[in-house]
Chains A and B, each alone.
Chain A
Amino acid sequence: MNFITVFRKEMQEQWRTYRFLIVAAVFAAFGLASPLLAKFTPEMLKVIPGLPPGLLDSIPAPTVADAISQYVKNMSQFGILLALLVTMGVVVQEKERGTAAFFLTRPVSRETFLLAKYAALIVTFICGLGLAAIGCWYYTLVLFEPLAWGPFLVLNGLMLVVFLVYMALALLASTIARSNGVAVGLAFVALILIGGIGSIPTIGDYFPGRLFSWGTTNMLGGTGTAWPAFGISLGIIAIALLAACIIFRRQEV
């Protein structure tokens, strides 16, 4: 009910409040910077005075694998952080400001209210990640060699799934919380829990973070998959969104 209307408003809001531009700019910057950093880090090291002799000789010449690793590292840190920062205020701020109460007396279901926000954020992140991917692909082409499109698309698709996991959890935190501070706290608890448990060997194979290494391995011609982590990631997204909808339906705003 009214999903398209609310979604359109959300997209307009992302644009007018510069959220879209900020996400796009941050992603584009990190996408462009990744192959540049990989290529020029050894050059930069050369100008640092007082480095032990022989150290520079021991650093191998940068390759396309370094560019990809740098890209994945940047995205796994800043992309996730951006996903949390952009999402965690979207519901709680409307509750605090009173716009949620004002609009929930209109023919807008609470599920529409939440899911339209999530959908708009997905579009923003797809665009942001798209820009990052284009930037990374172009500079890798210029500085190293062309990247294989298929595996590179898969890598970005898997990264998007990880971002969606954190966005869904941040949306849940934002729905549960009564104040922005609590939403921030809850979102970072989710980050620490998923990141912490995901770094435990064997258990980590089932957590979203595993998708980054799957995408990287695939990109660099390796074998192996992480379908359980993929399935669990989708499950986390579904459960977080469902929980957010149920909680919001029962919540007094």
Chain B
Amino acid sequence: MSSVHVDNLKKYYGAVHALDGLQLEVAPGTIFGFLGPNGAGKTTTLRILTGLARPTSGTAQVAGVDVLKDGNQLSRHIGHLPEEPAFYTWMTPREFLDYLGRLYGLSSKARLSRTRELLALVHLEEVSKRRIAGFSRGMRQRLGVAAALIHHPEVLFLDEPASALDPAGRKEVLDLIENLRGQCTVVMSTHILADVERVCDVVGIIAKGRMLVQSRREQLLEQYAIPAFEVEGDDQAALSLWAQELRRLPWVISVVPRNDAFRITVRDVQSAKRTLLGMAVNSGLMLNRYEEVRPSLEDVFLQLVGAEDVS
């Protein structure tokens, strides 16, 4: 059974179609990166999946619970970190986590140990008796993660968990998410591609309320691989001459200078692999670098979202 199953989800705000027939399937134990430009429908999806908003039509189940029917049951299976987690700032982190533990019906002993464990996990032990009002954005985000984990949820929803943080804060939060691998299913929405590349196993790209593609990260990169090679050398004149020679070959599509290197896009990768390096050696080129170009998630994202924008 999927941890998250969404079928033909639509959410209209008047004429605005925030979600327009979204399909989504997340397998248990996955760290799912929900990727899309601003306004693509990521937050709306998470709000529906956490029971905070109702869809115009369509169905959604999380951990086997229909999100439209049983909000109370749903809340026991999920953890949620909104983009800007809000707290009762007059509380201390210890009191806050204890309060949440009470809401989930944890015993006094269980609350005490879980609170300690989580404060250690998010590195807030030293400030556990300070009021949340004085916390930085990063500290609040980490406390938000701890709050979302208090009851060992099956599915954890994180809305842009690291987008507004400085590099150190981002690293801390991403490390935390990475450490959750195998403990629960994580659905993380973001528009930061590097975050997804770093922690997610499966990627779903959403634009204009529709899922454009959903696949394992490696498969996606393979599927959208660019048939290209890059060659870099010190002697730019020799490289330019060689580039002219390459352009005459039938399996070469283009040879384009890129900084100190040349990018050779080909029709037939196998022919290129067999021939290219030998040709360079025969031409007497002194190469600093020769590599098959691997697409980044950014390339795939721009390719897909760009195509969607054109259509």
Contact = CB atoms under 8 A, between A and B. Distances in A.
A73 interface: no
B234 to A, nearest CB: 56
Interface string B62-75: 00000000011001
A160 B6 CA distance: 50
B90 interface: yes
B102 A5 contact: yes
Interface in B19-47: 47
A107 B85 contact: no
A10 to B, nearest CB: 10
Most-contacted residue by chain B among A17, A99, A106, A109 (CB, 10 A): A106
B225 interface: no
A104 B104 contact: no
Interface stretch (B49-57, B207-215, B244-252): B49-57
A151 to B, nearest CB: 40
Nearest to A97: B86
What is the size category of the interface that chain B forms with chain A? 20 to 34
A53 B85 CA distance: 69
Contacts of A101: 52, 82, 86
B224 interface: no
A149 to B, nearest CB: 38
A100 B173 CA distance: 24
Contacts of B105: 107
Query: How would you classify the secondary structure of chain A's contact residues: helix, strand, loop or mixed?
Result: loop
Residue among A1, A6, A101 with the most chain B CB within 10 A? A101
Nearest to B105: A107
Given A101-B52, A102-B85, A252-B54, A2 B90 contact: no
Contact of A9 (B53, B78, B82, B88): B88
B63 to A, nearest CB: 13
Given A5-B99, A13-B88, A106 B82 contact: no
A30 to B, nearest CB: 27
Interface in B259-301: none
Given A5-B102, A5-B103, A9-B99, A105 B86 contact: no
A98 interface: yes
Contacts of B99: 5, 9
A108 B80 CA distance: 14
B166 interface: no
A106 B100 contact: yes
B137 to A, nearest CB: 14
A8 to B, nearest CB: 8
Nearest to B47: A252
B242 interface: no
A109 B75 CA distance: 10
A252 B88 CA distance: 21
B7 interface: no
A105 B90 contact: no
Given A5-B99, A5-B102, A98 B84 contact: yes
A107 B82 contact: no
Interface in A107-130: 107-109
A17 B100 contact: no
A65 interface: no
Given A5-B102, A252-B53, A105 B88 contact: no
A21 interface: no
B8 to A, nearest CB: 20
Given A9-B88, A98-B86, A105-B52, 7 more contacts: A98-B82, A101-B52, A102-B80, A105-B50, A106-B100, A109-B72, A252-B53
- The 4 A-B pairs with the shortest beta carbon distances in the complex, nearest first, are A98-B86, A16-B90, A105-B80, A99-B86
Interface of A: 1-2, 5-6, 9, 13, 16-17, 97-99, 101-102, 104-109, 252-253
Interface of B: 47, 50-54, 71-72, 75-76, 78, 80, 82, 84-88, 90, 99-100, 102-105, 147
8 contacts: A5-B103, A99-B86, A101-B82, A105-B50, A105-B51, A106-B103, A252-B53, A252-B54
